[in-house]
């Protein structure tokens, strides 16, 4: 028998380990009538890209580690001036299309939070407007169980949902809604210092309006109605910007907890 080729053995081993440690499970698609620049921010294992361009109708598959947790959001109305890339909403303050992993600037933005292989081999995901709202986002899992269903925040009329003093305009067009905490920084509204408890952290006009418009979204700290959905860790996901609200209207919410 001939000798084993060490390169072939290394390559086979590498491919096997790569398939175990990573999954191409997240498809990000843009159904908006404008270009979106997605942001991917990771807290542990990194994904190969942190930001890119997605034109109307385009989609991109993301290869994520099996134990990844982080967020996906979208930037809008981006441009390059004097060599500095910046966006009106959702900007990550890196000055580039790729975003810095060291410092995320939370301008008004809707985001999807994922935690894979959490607590006994399940995935979890949450849609949040804690840091404002700039785009409708829907997460659609490939599997369907009582706790693994489409979830998102699709505001049909931001003029009615966003309080007047929190509106963000580009020219005369309403393009985003800041959170009350972002604008004021007050401990009572941000649920910090003496207000860092469920008993002292109370809803605001902002949180009440968004809870009504998006009952499946995480709105503020200690929000007892926040929805975190869980799926088997073999699940694939599609994250859609500007999906139809009909996707959410045809499902029910049956998971009501927020994991540590």
pLDDT tens for residues 124-172?
Answer: 899 999 889 999 999 999 988 888 989 999 998 999 999 999 999 999 9
SS3 state at 50:
coil
- Output DSSP code: residue 54: B
Centroid of chain to Cα 11:
35
Within 8 A by CB and 6+ apart from 185, the residues are none
Q: What is the pLDDT of residue 259?
A: 34
In the predicted model, is pLDDT for residue 7 greater than 50? no
- Give the Cα separation of 227 and 254 in Å (integer): 8
pLDDT in tens, 197-221: 878 888 888 888 998 899 888 887 7
Q: Which comes out higher in pLDDT, residue 105 or 15?
A: 105
% of the chain surpassing 70 pLDDT: 81
Q: What is the pLDDT of residue 18?
A: 41
In the predicted model, is pLDDT for residue 66 greater than 70? yes
Residue 31 near residue 242 (C-beta atoms within 8 A): yes
Q: What is the pLDDT of residue 23?
A: 63
Q: Which comes out higher in pLDDT, residue 133 or 195?
A: 133
Q: Considering the entire predicted model, what is its pTM?
A: 0.83
Gyration radius from the chain CA atoms? 20
Q: Which comes out higher in pLDDT, residue 169 or 82?
A: 169
Q: Domain 23-249: give its CATH architecture.
A: Sandwich (2.60)
- Give the Cα separation of 36 and 97 in Å (integer): 11
């Amino acid at each position: 028998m001939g000798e084993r080729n060490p390169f072939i053995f290394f390559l086979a081993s590498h491919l096997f380990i790569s398939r175990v440690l990573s999954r191409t499970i997240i498809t990000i698609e843009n159904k908006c009538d404008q270009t979106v620049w997605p942001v991917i921010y990771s807290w542990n294992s990194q994904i190969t890209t942190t930001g890119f361009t997605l034109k109307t109708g385009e989609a991109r598959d993301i290869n994520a580690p099996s134990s990844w947790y982080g967020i996906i959001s979208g930037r809008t109305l981006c441009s390059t001036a004097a060599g500095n890339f910046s966006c009106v909403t959702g900007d990550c303050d890196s000055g580039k299309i790729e975003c810095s992993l060291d410092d995320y600037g939370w301008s008004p933005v809707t985001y999807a939070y994922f935690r894979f292989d959490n607590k006994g081999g399940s995935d979890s995901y949450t849609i949040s407007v804690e840091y404002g709202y700039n785009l409708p986002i829907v997460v659609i899992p490939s599997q369907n169980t009582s706790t693994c269903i489409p979830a998102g925040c699709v505001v049909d009329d931001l003029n009615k949902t966003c309080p007047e003093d929190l509106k963000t305009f580009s020219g005369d067009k309403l393009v985003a809604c800041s959170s009350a905490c972002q604008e004021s920084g007050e401990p009572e509204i941000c649920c910090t210092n003496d207000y860092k408890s469920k008993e002292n952290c109370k809803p605001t006009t902002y949180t009440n309006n968004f809870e009504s418009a998006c009952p499946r979204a995480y709105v503020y700290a200690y929000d007892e109605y926040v929805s975190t959905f869980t799926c088997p860790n073999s699940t694939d996901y599609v994250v859609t910007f500007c999906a139809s609200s009909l996707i959410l209207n045809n499902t029910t919410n049956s998971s009501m907890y927020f994991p540590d």
